[in-house]
Amino acid sequence: MLLLVLYALNYRYGPETGPTIGIAAETPDQKGQIIMFIQTQDTPNPATLKFIPGVPVMETGTADYPAADSATNSPLARRLFQIDGVRGVFLGGDFVAVTKEEALDWFALKPSILAGIMEHYASGMPVVESTGAADEDDGEEDDDIVRQIKQLLDTRVRPAVAMDGGDIVFQGFDDGVVTLQMRGACQGCPSSTATLKMGIENMLRHYIPDVREVRAADF
């Protein structure tokens, strides 16, 4: 049995990181304790909260699990989906973004999610068992325009949205229209349309004249 001690009363609020929660875990076959300090951070999407465990989550790429039945290759995501009220899990390089059912309150869900993350890392299981759900190159050679689009997204867009617990991934380019996939906190975010049109579309049209429109992929 995993014993969890939450130092939840010792919240330390910062301007960007939100409360920091120290968690100690001890298992019967381990001597001593495993200590983790998990930060929680709000995102522009009120239904999504960012959990930063202080250890690597995804070594490369990202992994998006918008529903429980999609989490077949991630022990961490499967564990979190066992919590009532968890609707989606997104894994970034150093964070876990969890999306909840709108009717539920973070105050009630947060302790279970923190415990689930701690239990996973104490178990020694991998975050992802294979790279099937991670954002990977499809192996096809891109033309010059697609390469430029991907480079701009990778250098100017994705690092910024990762700070907000999400990701925006290139899906296609056809007849001047760029299609992007919204992941994590970006999916369903009230400000995502403005980000897509006023931010990303204007930037791509400025640098790449062949781009005339940017759209979000249908789910």
Contacts of 187 (CB under 8 A, 6+ apart): 45, 66, 88, 99, 166, 219
Query: Within a domain: residue 138?
Result: no
The domain of 172 spans: 144-216
Same domain flag for 52 and 104: yes
Read off the CATH number of the domain in which 31 is found. 3.30.1370.70
- Check whether 210 has a pLDDT greater than 80: yes
pLDDT digits (tens, 9 = 90+) for 131-143: 554 555 555 667 8
Strands across the sheet containing 177-184: 166-174, 177-184, 213-216
Residue 95 in any domain: the answer is yes
Q: Bigger pLDDT: 198 or 95? A: 95
Using one digit for the tens of pLDDT, what is the confidence trace for 140-170? 667 899 999 999 998 888 888 888 887 888 9
Instruction: Give pLDDT tens digits for 56-79.
Output: 999 888 999 999 999 999 999 999
In 3-state terms, what secondary structure has residue 56? coil
Any domain includes 128: no
Do residue 94 and residue 172 come from a single domain? no
Same domain? For 36 and 95 the reply is: yes
In-domain check, residue 132: no
12-52 pLDDT per residue, tens: 333 344 444 444 444 444 444 567 889 999 988 899 999 99
The string of pLDDT tens digits covering residues 171-184 is 899 999 999 988 88
> Does residue 139 belong to any structural domain of this protein?
no
- Give the span between the Cα atoms of 132 and 142, in whole angstroms: 21
Task: Judge if 17 and 111 occupy the same domain.
Answer: yes
Q: Judge whether 146 and 177 are in contact, CB under 8 Å.
A: no
pLDDT at 135: 52
C-alpha span between 183 and 208 (Å, rounded): 24
What is the model's pTM? 0.74
CA 176 centroid distance within chain: 29
Q: Are residues 118 and 188 in the same domain?
A: no
**Distance between CA atoms of 161 and 78, rounded to whole angstroms?**
24
Q: Are residues 45 and 119 in the same domain?
A: yes
pLDDT-derived band at 116 (thresholds 50, 70, 90) equals very high
CATH number for position 184 = 3.30.300.130
Mean pLDDT of 3-15: 33
Strand-strand pairing, 48-52 and 34-42: antiparallel
Percent of the chain with pLDDT over 90: 46
Residue 117 lies in a domain: yes
Nearest to 36 by CA among 58, 12, 52: 52
How many domains does the structure of the chain reveal? 2
